[in-house]
Chain A
């Protein structure tokens, strides 16, 4: 780390919208540049905060968002919806086969997916017997309360 390099780093910190920069090189060299009177940029994670419990809906619990028209029309099709906010997983483990594939026959108590919420794994059952018509969410995607997960053709 030479003097010119340090100068360049200081200039970089001065110009950039950062308040502090820490560099480590090798075993014993550590450079900390702080800009006085400035604010540290807010981390990007704000945009990803989990929706708050506020404002709470009035009791009784609000109904899931209304189904899209085409879903409501066909009475032979049942839509399995997310009963909670969470992350959708199609298999019990990363290397395990999926619980169900399109075209698979399901019973009332067939587990169709897992929703992970706050590190707790929640098995979601079909709740109806029929055949999987469509899987509406990609593995590993976050889902909202009431979001359609599967379309099931009723028996």
Chain B
């Protein structure tokens, strides 16, 4: 398999901005130039580059250039095409396969322009969830991404940022697609009691950045997954027969993530907690979990300002759980 590492560019996105909504329609070089403001040479070069990268823009001598869409391509310019964000996705990189998008993001953490950079993979060989749990990912079917943000102001706890990200994705799936999605503390997106996706937030101290990762099952099916998770996983296409477009979905998640950022900064997470409570499957339930190596159970009460889960254990003790302290949380009733 040819390994491609693609970067978005202003020129290529500008071209796709009018080719993409009009598949198979022809445009002359003159028309493209007048609408995009690019020179003939730039246009021809950008079209050649897009063709090399798997986006087919063909030429008919009598009519001009036209775009022939192919569904499976996940191309950075097709993502930026949909974006109206100010900094999320200012740079988008896609790769066919990589050990993990987190590894790629880490190598970019030294870049002064890293803020808003999004790394997307078509497949991961060593994708991971919390505690290095494996995250299965077949080629070209799901969403696997990590984005980098720099935060120099308020010191936001990783656990709150994790809730914030989960809430953003769940709101997209609920309000734009009407899916019955819910959140299982701390970072799981679930539907019909099965796992649809997850979020992982890491803090990179050396670069003062957060690495925020999202895994979301889109087109994959149980036969694509390891045997042990076939019964507990679910994908968007299993939930709803729809023409799921990964590039548009990524843009929606990114845009929703960015647009709530100021609210998060202003209200210190109050709105996020409201949403979280609305979508949570975890609150008011008896749960069992491993806490610092001990098997415990208790009744969940609420989440606090930092995104910690507050509960009353069966031994009558109040506990504030951090995501990293808890493993194998199971809802009993």
Q: Which residues of A does B touch, CB under 8 Å?
A: 19, 36-37, 39-40, 42-43, 45-46, 49-57, 59-62, 83-86, 109, 115, 117-122, 125, 127, 145
Give, as a whole number of angstroms, the nearest-CB distance from A144 to chain B. Answer: 10
Does any Cβ of A come within 8 Å of B158's Cβ? no
Does any Cβ of A come within 8 Å of B56's Cβ? no
Give bound CA distance, A50 to B81, whole Å.
Answer: 9
Give, as a whole number of angstroms, the nearest-CB distance from B234 to chain A. Answer: 21
Q: Which 8 residue pairs across A and B have the least CB separation, nearest first?
A: A84-B259, A56-B90, A119-B176, A121-B175, A59-B115, A39-B28, A53-B83, A118-B252
Q: Which of B83, B152, B176, B255 contacts A60 (CB 8 A)?
A: B152
Does any Cβ of A come within 8 Å of B63's Cβ? yes
Does any Cβ of A come within 8 Å of B244's Cβ? no
Q: Which residue of B lies closest to A122 (CB)?
A: B259
Does any Cβ of A come within 8 Å of B150's Cβ? yes
Residue with the greatest number of chain B CB neighbours at <10 A, chosen from A39, A115, A120: A120
Stretch of B12-20, B135-143, B311-319 on the interface side: B12-20
Interface residues of B in 231-282 (CB under 8 A from A): 248, 251-252, 255-256, 258-263, 266-267, 270-271, 274
Give bound CA distance, A77 to B6, whole Å.
Answer: 49
Q: Find chain B residues with CB under 8 A from A59 CB.
A: 87, 115-116, 150
Known A49-B17, A117-B255, A120-B175; contact A57-B35, beta-carbon cutoff 8 A: no
Give bound CA distance, A121 to B168, whole Å.
Answer: 11
Does any Cβ of A come within 8 Å of B5's Cβ? no
Give bound CA distance, A51 to B271, whole Å.
Answer: 28
Q: Find chain A residues with CB under 8 A from B27 CB.
A: 39-40, 42
Q: Find chain A residues with CB under 8 A from B251 CB.
A: 118
A-B contacts at CB below 8 angstroms, number: 112
Q: Find chain A residues with CB under 8 A from B13 CB.
A: 52, 54
A-B contact pairs, 22 of them (CB 8 A): A39-B27, A39-B31, A42-B18, A42-B35, A50-B84, A52-B10, A52-B17, A52-B83, A53-B80, A53-B86, A53-B87, A53-B90, A59-B87, A61-B87, A61-B261, A85-B84, A109-B270, A117-B255, A120-B176, A120-B252, A125-B263, A145-B86
A61 and B255: CB pair below 8 A?
A: no
Give, as a whole number of angstroms, the nearest-CB distance from A38 to chain B. Answer: 8
B152 and A120: CB pair below 8 A?
A: no
Give bound CA distance, A52 to B77, whole Å.
Answer: 11
Give, as a whole number of angstroms, the nearest-CB distance from A120 to chain B. Answer: 5
Q: Find chain B residues with CB under 8 A from A53 CB.
A: 80, 83-90
Give, as a whole number of angstroms, the nearest-CB distance from A14 to chain B. Answer: 16
B64 and A39: CB pair below 8 A?
A: yes
B62 and A36: CB pair below 8 A?
A: yes
Known A46-B18, A53-B83; contact A117-B271, beta-carbon cutoff 8 A: no
Q: Which residue of A lies closest to B258 (CB)?
A: A84
Give bound CA distance, A39 to B64, whole Å.
Answer: 7
Give, as a whole number of angstroms, the nearest-CB distance from B151 to chain A. Answer: 9
Give bound CA distance, A115 to B262, whole Å.
Answer: 15
Q: Find chain A residues with CB under 8 A from B221 CB.
A: none
Does any Cβ of A come within 8 Å of B171's Cβ? yes
Give, as a whole number of angstroms, the nearest-CB distance from B13 to chain A. Answer: 7
B86 and A62: CB pair below 8 A?
A: yes
A52 and B259: CB pair below 8 A?
A: no
A117 and B64: CB pair below 8 A?
A: no
Q: Which of B116, B150, B259 contacts A117 (CB 8 A)?
A: B259
Scan B1-32; emit 1 where CB is below 8 A from any A CB, else 0: 00000000010011001100110011110110
Q: Which residue of A lies closest to B173 (CB)?
A: A120
Residue with the greatest number of chain B CB neighbours at <10 A, chosen from A43, A54, A118, A127: A118
- 5 extra interface residue pairs, beta carbon distance < 8 Å, beyond A60-B153, A117-B256, A118-B82: A37-B62, A53-B88, A53-B90, A54-B13, A59-B87
Q: Find chain A residues with CB under 8 A from B28 CB.
A: 39
Interface residues of B in 70-113 (CB under 8 A from A): 80, 82-90
Q: Which residue of A lies closest to B32 (CB)?
A: A42
Give, as a whole number of angstroms, the nearest-CB distance from A5 to chain B. Answer: 27
Q: Which residue of B lies closest to A127 (CB)?
A: B266
A43 and B22: CB pair below 8 A?
A: yes
Q: Find chain B residues with CB under 8 A from A119 CB.
A: 175-177, 252
Q: Find chain A residues with CB under 8 A from B25 CB.
A: 40, 43
Give, as a whole number of angstroms, the nearest-CB distance from A24 to chain B. Answer: 19
Q: Find chain B residues with CB under 8 A from A52 CB.
A: 10, 13-14, 17, 80, 83-84
